[in-house]
Chains A and B, each alone.
Chain A
Amino acid sequence: MIDKFFATPQAALADVRNGATVMIGGFGNAGMPAELIDCLIAQGARELTIVNNNAGNADAGLAALIGAGRVRKILCSFPRQTDSWHFDKLYRAGKLELELVPQGTLAERIRAAGAGIGAFFTPTAFGTRLAEGKETRHINGRDYVLEYPIHADYALIKADRADRWGNLCYRKTARNFGPIMAAAAACTVAQVREAVELGALDPETVVTPRIFVKRVVKLH
């Protein structure tokens, strides 16, 4: 019998190795897998490459992971916030590498990884310093920049409901990066509010089909 539910977040993240690339879902607090991040901090993996829209807020979640010195590099679109002091300090000290990616390019690079796309041309950032050194092409009267997919070893995401096969439904804007990160990572771990019986999720409303999800942890 297939059962993707893990009893604890600790068990679901036990095999994260030093140097792993980890996508972390969420936009602000919406969709942030707080308990999985706390567990990753306790688990102790170091030299991580993190993919998230931001670089942590205040002292919890991703900010705490950064503050604990576990992150070597971060790919994100908007690191600087009024309360991103953990990131700011390490970045200024040269202890944290930043790859700044326009938000839509970040999303599409993640999507491309999950969809098996080798690279794509986007008009975003053409003629700006974020396109410096990148291959460009003029296609049908428009200028484009070549961008490559972002693959990950793990994606830690938050969904609302799951069944034991790993089908996921989300809640409101907490969906954000969840579906695309789930497809882009070799091992996707979803924390969910509610576990339901197989067959209880309306197949018309499943947003992330089980094939993209390896492990599920029910919290609360």
Chain B
Amino acid sequence: MSLPILLAVFAIPSISIPLVYLAGKKSPKAAAFFVALIALVNIALVMSTIPAILSNGSYAESYTWIPTILNTEFTLYLDGISASIALISLVLMFVASIFSINYMEGKKNLASYYALLCMLSVGLVGVFLTSNLILFYFCWELMLVPAYFIVGEWGYRNAYKSAFKLFIFTHAGAVFVLLGIGAIYYLTGYTDMFQAQTALMTAAPDIIKWVLIALTAGFAVKMAVFPVHMWLPDAHSEAPAPMSALLSGVIISAGAYAILRLSFGIVFPAVGIAFGTDFLHSLAIVGIITAFFGSLLSLVATDIKRVIAYSSIAHMGYIMFGLSLFPVALATGNSVLLASASAIAIVGTVLHIITHAASKGLFFLTAGGVMHQTEQRDIRKMGGLAGKMPFSAVSGTIAALSISGAPPFACFISEFLIFVGAFQIMQVDTFYIIPTALMLIATVFSLAYSLRFISKVFLGASKDEPGAEEAHKTLAEHIKAEAHKIVDVPSYMKASLAILVVLVVLIGIYPAFFMNLIQTVQFGVPVG
């Protein structure tokens, strides 16, 4: 038995929740640093398992838990995919808490805010950290509670309404997830993912197809793909910026991770190749519709955060499309090492979860900074901010360009891998020719909305949009009245933006760290 590293990743934030609250009562700043410190410690802990993951493919710890009821021990498990996503989640958590110092300044009940943030980090990391289905579901729901309260209590406009939408939708999705997990337990008698998967391979009843559908549909709500996206634009645009960054950056991507881990990891190898292929095709269609839908709506949105929220929907479309390129060979029970050429798309998809998290976090935080400094959220009333907020202009531009898939920024390399993988699969499955072509076209739209964002917010406003003239007048008045007031974001915000800028550029130029991790993973039937 080695050191309880992963248990510590759970325990440290859990134990700290009341401490953070107490610290927050004294000084919100201290609480923010507390949360950031916890994230840092957790980053260090997860990093310490990486050598083991690189050499053995995984890192696991087992503990006994509720032994009498479910006669099983629960396993904390990290492999290349979950470790890399957990790392980026923790980085975002760190950045979000630092950002909150300036952003939330002067708001009420900050002690509760930071305590909830700390609680969120337990659930958020826990989802990626376990191979036990019950613990997974527990963490899955644990993410939702703090998210609901943070959006509702510290959000904008009809915040509780948006939070309520978030809660109802994701919870409805979770019901399906629970059904799926229950079915897996019922069919196999195991709560451990790998044991369940082995058991399913030996005896898979026909109903397993429905389990796959229920699980995937449930997770799809979290991803907010079309047509279950309705909650996202409200929740993400009304949440406070640090929470938007976490929601759009990692929480919705947790849905994609869960599809990969549960739907594909456990159930998919049992469904057979014919159904498996069709199932993947339907995911590809959902992905395409989502990508176009999100991009088009983002192209005309006038609310600064809604532009970004719709872009998140579009990117979930990319990720869904990437997931649909999952090696269908698995459905015959063959195992597939992600490092093989047939799985390039999945490596790209996982990498895209990471790059999108960093870029979208940066995007939302920059937008939050702009809102904080200008007290505006209508992009028609902005413009020319590059002169007044050069730092935010640089970080916003980098975020927007990365989101649009322009090299050398992070999202390019992952999108590139998804496309290369898509071409690989075309060779064996001609269905993918049209979807891939459409997804390529969708990148033009993502460039369009990204550039529109940059032009409208940071550069001088253009006048070719309906209603812009009026907004222009308001802008002139606004600038006259506020010109002396608008300054660049304060230092803690700058620091957190800078971290993400460095990350986005670094991953874009040299993605080897994450790629090495991701490529250690093997999906399919464990041999022996």
Partners in one complex: no
B residues lining the A interface (CB < 8 Å): none
